[in-house]
Amino acid sequence: MKTLFLSLLLFFADAAQAQSVLGQEWLILYRLDRPQAKYVLCRNYQSPENKSISEVVIADTFAIQLRIGLCCVIMSNACVLETKIPLTNKTNTVVQNKMLVPAYGVAFPRHTKVMFNSSITDLEKVNLNGPTEGNLIYEGEAAVRKLKEMGLELPDDADVKRK
């Protein structure tokens, strides 16, 4: 469990770094080498209600269907984690939602950029059959070293010997 937590911490730190590269609206796609929860899609955008929305979708499958001017992403057996933060100073109410759905679909403009396999490309050009060199999973001491490289501290409840 602690290894999973450290892996997720590194994952979200990587996503935060990518936000500065990709701008306000961004997509990050990860392919994990496992039978279930194989794909992770992250997106950040501003809603018409003036809220910042961060979404993480973890799913078994990932497919892209091209439509006129659109790329439709379809994911199966999806867990959708959504955080909404108001951009006005009236309230600091943060809303988090978790949804488990058999199918998740969302449409993006045709030339939406996505970070996948350590490079940025158009969503319609994502090659899911290519190598997975950008999807590194750090466990144990390697996770601890990577956290230190990134300038992050170990969580207080991490089950490791501190040096």
Query: How confident is the model over 61-72, as pLDDT tens digits?
Result: 999 998 888 999
> Smallest Cα–Cα separation from 114: which of 47, 45, 25?
25
Residue appearing with tokens 């496992």: 34
Torsion sign over Cα 5, 11, 17, 23: negative
Residue 161 to residue 140: CA distance in whole angstroms:
11
Mean pLDDT of 125-154: 69
| Cα(69)–Cα(160) distance, integer angstroms | 50
- CA distances to 105, 133, 149 from 16, rounded to whole Å, are 24, 20, 15
- Of the ranges 11-25, 40-54, 110-124, which one carries the lowest mean pLDDT score? 11-25
Length reported for the chain = 163
- Taking all residues of the chain, what is their mean pLDDT, rounded to a whole number? 76
> pLDDT band at 160, cuts 50/70/90?
low
- pLDDT band for position 24 (cuts 50, 70, 90): very low
pLDDT digits (tens, 9 = 90+) for 93-115: 888 999 999 999 999 988 888 88
Q: What is the pLDDT of residues 32-62, one digit of tens each?
A: 877 777 899 999 888 887 888 899 999 999 9
Which of 71, 39, 44, 40 lies closest to 55, judged by CA?
44
Are 107 and 74 in contact by the 8 Å Cβ rule? The answer is no
From CA 25, how far away is CA 35, in angstroms rounded?
A: 30
